[in-house]
């Protein structure tokens, strides 16, 4: 009887073998999927052709012909630059606001996450109100609020708030002097890089020394000192190789110097304040997850409160904080596409907006845009996963 | 919204492979209404009134098409589109006709796969500034911050004009005309630029219209007109001759007031042909012979629509100018209806 049960399938055919069947199903699914993709692709090309809509990436080489408000790191002219340049500018602008946004959102998030746990009733209530209000209003509404109700209602440029002689705040943004490199400027970034490299070496040395002798070394302040002083020395050696361009009053607002445009500022504040509230909750839950006994144990060993937070609580809290923090960073990047509502020239506004409209290449443009967001999101995920692995509990 | 239209393109381009065999006219008759793409709201051209009914110059064109096809001008459904979304909506088949003050250009006609069926408003791009700036000419705008609606020929003309005159500008782009106006009113920009008709339309809804002036320069030709997809010539013909019928009606003095009388009594063979009492113009289009009669009776001729929505006495107060009939100082000229 027992042999019968086993031989029931094997006797009939290989098809009764669950492993074989599993493989057959897998193959079937793959074939169906490939067939579906091929069908969709073929049909799309066919229908586009029938409607006389051009396809391909040739449009990227055509001159763009329109102006862009915010151009960083590149030269752009509506007459000679191509749609490919538009794509690059869109990417740079999206990355600029996302990176700044992630930095400030993290700062805001950690600050309010800690304040939320403060023993001071007023402080913790303020943090609570901020988190609850901001989390429960749609981001688009907040962006419109920041753009039209905050930055837009600042004084006109003729009546700017002035800080010092050369720093202006008005409804056209923030104007401040710019640094224009001249010959020999290269030594300053070289000095900066050298300082950073040296800081890494020093921190490794300091850790080794502390392991051997127990003597701590003020790595943080040493690094800050080097990062400030080395470029400064470089600048002095080369005889201050830069000019300073001050904002001056022209017919239509201030010209010269650098300007942070209100569209950028509104998007940045909106994204930071919004994402910061979510991060604050994540930080609070992370800190709460570390049992209070840990803190008490550290205190009873005579470790100072600041060091307790830094060396005992935070490393354990980070393990809870980092994974959800990653998805907040991804959200911030993706939410930056709402820029199009308030006139900031991000990739969605200028490439998936104007370029799409002027060339009519909807499928190609949207595919490129999606590919961009996907790649950047994956890169952020990979970095955060690496960081998460680094700080995770090492079991021995 | 954009993702939705993209999915619409992808879906229609991929899955509707077999459904495109029916003609647009058959499809429209089968569903019982025309899906007409209009602006998201531009006073005088297409905007919902206090009862939520769409009204305006472009809306009248859609109504005229419905009158010609269904003998009922209300058999239209309106799809508000932004400047950016409008072409995708038409390409994907989401709308049957786009009447959304769209400039006729070569690349749109050819590369985007559309057929422009004529011009219903001859326009040109202009600039509006606050009077307090003291600017008298567009050539004084070097260095100005300019608010624009994205996805328009306006963006391209502006770049060309400033480059040609060796001037700098700082463009700020928004999705809808309302956002542009809001930013302009807040003084985030110095200049609001779009087609002059659009500037007049926007000025008519600004709280203090007298504080703003439209500069004299017109920097471009903007022939605005309705358009349809490539590939269905019969549908294109119906759209084209609906517009021509409206224009010819004014030329021949056929209006909603006298059309009944003319149909019964006219001795003029040309008018009798248009109104379908002789000949078979309507049948040639695949419509009933009283198609043009219905347009005049239910919507009115070009001049009536202009006077009602844009002309003197309306908040826009636009003179006919180029948009007068050819024999009246303008360049409006319908091909003969015979």
| Nearest CA distance, B91 vs chain A (angstrom) | 8
Strand partners, B145: B170
The structural domains of chain B, with segments of one domain joined by +, span: 2-122+223-328, 125-220
| Nearest CA distance, A374 vs chain B (angstrom) | 15
Residue B18 reports pLDDT greater than 50: no
Q: Which of the four pLDDT bands, split at 50, 70 and 90, describes residue B17?
A: very low
How many CB pairs below 8 Å do chains A and B form together? 148
Query: Is ipTM over 0.85?
Result: no
Q: Distance (Å, rounded) from C-alpha A140 to C-alpha A338?
A: 7
Class of domain B125-220: alpha beta
Q: Does A137 touch chain B (CB under 8 A)?
A: no
| Nearest CA distance, B201 vs chain A (angstrom) | 22
- Whether the domain at B2-122+223-328 and the domain at B125-220 fall into the same CATH topology: yes
Going by C-alpha positions, the residue among A58, A64, A57, A56 that lies closest to residue A82 is A64
Considering only CA atoms, give the Rg of chain A.
28
| Nearest CA distance, B190 vs chain A (angstrom) | 7
Question: Do the Cβ atoms of B188 and A250 come within 8 Å?
Answer: no
Q: Regarding the domain delimited by B2-122+223-328, which CATH topology (the fold level of the hierarchy) does it fall under?
A: D-Maltodextrin-Binding Protein; domain 2 (3.40.190)
The pLDDT value given to residue A396: 65
Going by C-alpha positions, the residue among B305, B304, B300, B295 that lies closest to residue B71 is B295
- Mean pLDDT in chain B? 89
Question: Do the Cβ atoms of B13 and A356 come within 8 Å?
Answer: no
Which comes out higher in pLDDT, residue B267 or A393? B267
Query: Which residue in chain A is spatially nearest to B188 when comparing CA positions?
Result: A172
Q: Identify the sign of the CA torsion B243, B249, B255, B259.
A: negative
Question: Do the Cβ atoms of B163 and A77 come within 8 Å?
Answer: yes
- Mean pLDDT to the nearest integer, B305-323: 90
Q: Distance (Å, rounded) from C-alpha A351 to C-alpha A294?
A: 52
Q: Does B137 touch chain A (CB under 8 A)?
A: no
Q: What is the pLDDT along chain A (396 residues), one digit of tens a residue?
A: 444 445 454 456 777 888 888 999 999 999 999 999 999 988 888 877 776 677 788 889 888 888 888 888 888 888 888 999 999 999 999 999 999 999 999 999 999 998 998 889 999 999 999 999 999 999 999 999 999 999 888 888 888 888 888 888 988 888 888 888 888 788 888 888 998 999 999 989 988 888 888 888 888 888 888 888 888 888 888 888 788 888 888 888 888 788 898 999 999 999 999 999 999 999 999 999 998 899 899 999 998 888 888 888 888 898 899 999 999 999 999 999 999 888 899 999 899 988 888 888 888 999 999 999 999 999 999 999 999 888 887 776
Q: Distance (Å, rounded) from C-alpha B308 to C-alpha B259?
A: 18
Residues of A numbered 170-189 whose beta carbons fall under 8 angstroms of chain B's beta carbons: which are they?
A: 171-172
Residue B3 reports pLDDT greater than 70: no
Main-chain phi, psi angles of A76, to 5 degrees: -135, 130
Strands of B125-208, DSSP E: 125-130, 144-149, 169-174, 191-195
Count CA atoms within 13 Å of residue B270 on its CB side: 10
Q: Does B14 touch chain A (CB under 8 A)?
A: yes
Q: Does B145 touch chain A (CB under 8 A)?
A: yes
Question: Do the Cβ atoms of B159 and A67 come within 8 Å?
Answer: yes
Going by C-alpha positions, the residue among B73, B67, B53, B65 that lies closest to residue B95 is B65
Q: Is A29 helix (H, G, I), strand (E, B) or coil?
A: helix
Q: Does A258 touch chain B (CB under 8 A)?
A: no
B199: enclosing H helix or E strand: helix B196-204
Q: Distance (Å, rounded) from C-alpha A105 to C-alpha A245?
A: 31
The pLDDT value given to residue B11: 52
The pLDDT value given to residue B21: 57
Question: Do the Cβ atoms of B91 and A345 come within 8 Å?
Answer: no
Q: Does B217 touch chain A (CB under 8 A)?
A: no
Main-chain phi, psi angles of B175, to 5 degrees: -75, -45
Going by C-alpha positions, the residue among B285, B194, B228 that lies closest to residue B89 is B228
Give the pLDDT confidence of B272-300 residue by residue, as tens digits: 999 999 889 999 999 999 999 999 999 99
Q: Which residues of B touch A146 (CB under 8 A)?
A: none
Q: Which of the four pLDDT bands, split at 50, 70 and 90, describes residue B14?
A: low
Strands of A46-204, DSSP E: 161-163, 167-170, 173-176, 178-181
Q: Regarding the domain delimited by A83-177+246-391, which CATH topology (the fold level of the hierarchy) does it fall under?
A: MetI-like fold (1.10.3720)
Residue B6 reports pLDDT greater than 70: no
Question: Do the Cβ atoms of B111 and A360 come within 8 Å?
Answer: yes
């Amino acid at each position: 009887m027992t042999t019968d049960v086993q031989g029931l399938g094997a006797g009939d055919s290989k098809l009764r073998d669950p492993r074989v069947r599993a493989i057959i199903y897998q193959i079937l699914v793959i074939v169906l999927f490939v067939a579906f993709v091929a069908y969709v692709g073929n049909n799309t090309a066919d229908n586009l052709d029938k409607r006389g809509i051009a396809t391909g990436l040739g449009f990227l080489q055509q001159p763009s012909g329109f102006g862009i408000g915010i151009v960083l790191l590149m030269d752009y002219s509506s007459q000679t630059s191509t749609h490919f340049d538009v794509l690059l500018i869109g990417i740079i602008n999206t990355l600029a606001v996302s990176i700044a946004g992630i930095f400030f959102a993290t700062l805001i998030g950690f600050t309010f996450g800690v304040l939320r746990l403060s023993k001071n009733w007023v402080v913790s209530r303020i943090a609570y109100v901020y988190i609850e209000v901001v989390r429960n209003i749609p981001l688009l509404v907040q962006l419109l609020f920041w753009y039209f109700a905050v930055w837009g209602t600042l004084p006109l440029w003729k009546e700017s708030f002035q800080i010092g002689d050369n720093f202006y705040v008005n409804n056209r943004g923030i104007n401040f002097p710019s640094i224009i490199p001249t010959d020999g400027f290269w030594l300053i970034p070289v000095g900066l890089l050298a300082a950073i490299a040296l800081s890494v070496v020093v921190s490794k040395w300091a850790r080794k020394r502390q392991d051997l002798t127990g003597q701590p070394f003020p790595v943080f302040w040493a690094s800050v000192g080097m990062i400030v002083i080395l470029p400064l020395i470089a600048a002095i050696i080369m005889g201050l190789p830069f000019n300073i361009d001050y904002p001056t009053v022209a017919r239509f607002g201030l010209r010269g110097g650098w300007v942070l445009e209100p569209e950028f500022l509104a998007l940045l504040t909106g994204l930071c304040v919004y994402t910061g509230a979510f991060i604050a909750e994540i930080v609070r839950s992370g800190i709460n997850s570390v049992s209070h006994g840990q803190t008490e144990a550290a205190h009873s060993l005579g470790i100072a409160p600041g060091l307790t937070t830094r060396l005992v609580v935070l490393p354990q809290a980070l393990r809870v904080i980092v994974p959800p923090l990653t998805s907040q960073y991804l959200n911030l990047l993706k939410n930056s596409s709402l820029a199009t509502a308030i006139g900031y020239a991000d990739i969605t506004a200028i490439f998936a907006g104007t370029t799409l409209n002027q060339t009519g290449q909807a499928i190609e443009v949207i595919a490129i845009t999606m590919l961009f967001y996907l790649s950047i999101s994956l890169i952020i995920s990979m970095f955060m996963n690496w960081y998460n692995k680094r700080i995770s509990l090492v079991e021995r | 919204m954009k993702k939705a239209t993209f999915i619409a393109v992808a879906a229609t381009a991929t899955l509707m492979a077999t459904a495109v065999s029916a003609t647009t006219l058959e499809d429209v008759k089968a569903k019982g209404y025309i899906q007409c793409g209009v602006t998201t709201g531009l006073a005088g051209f297409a905007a919902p009134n206090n009862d939520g009914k769409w009204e305006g110059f472009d809306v009248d064109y859609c109504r005229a098409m419905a009158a010609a096809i269904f003998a009922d001008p209300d058999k239209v459904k309106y799809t508000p589109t932004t400047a950016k979304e409008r072409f995708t909506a038409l390409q994907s088949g989401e709308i049957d006709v786009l009447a959304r003050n769209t400039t006729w250009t070569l690349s749109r006609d050819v590369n985007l796969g559309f057929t422009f069926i004529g011009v219903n408003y001859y326009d040109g791009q202009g600039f509006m500034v606050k009077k307090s700036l003291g600017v008298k000419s567009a050539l004084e705008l070097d260095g100005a911050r300019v608010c624009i609606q994205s996805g328009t020929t306006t963006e391209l003309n502006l770049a060309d004009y400033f480059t040609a005159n060796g001037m700098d500008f700082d463009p700020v782009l928004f999705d809808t005309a309302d956002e542009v106006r809001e930013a302009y009113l807040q003084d985030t920009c110095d200049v609001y630029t779009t087609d002059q008709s659009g500037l007049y339309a926007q000025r008519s809804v600004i709280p203090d219209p007298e504080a703003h002036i439209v500069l004299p320069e017109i920097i471009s030709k903007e022939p605005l007109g309705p358009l349809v997809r490539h590939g269905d010539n019969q549908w294109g013909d119906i759209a084209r001759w609906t517009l021509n019928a409206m224009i010819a009606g004014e030329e021949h003095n056929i209006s909603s007031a006298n059309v009944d009388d003319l149909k019964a009594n006219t001795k003029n063979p040309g008018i009798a042909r248009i109104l379908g009492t002789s000949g078979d113009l309507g049948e040639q289009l695949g419509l009933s012979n009283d198609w043009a009669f219905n347009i005049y009776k239910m919507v009115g001729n070009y001049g009536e629509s202009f006077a009602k929505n844009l002309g003197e006495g309306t908040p826009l107060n636009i003179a006919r100018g180029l948009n007068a009939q050819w024999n009246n100082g303008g360049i409006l000229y319908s091909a003969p209806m015979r």
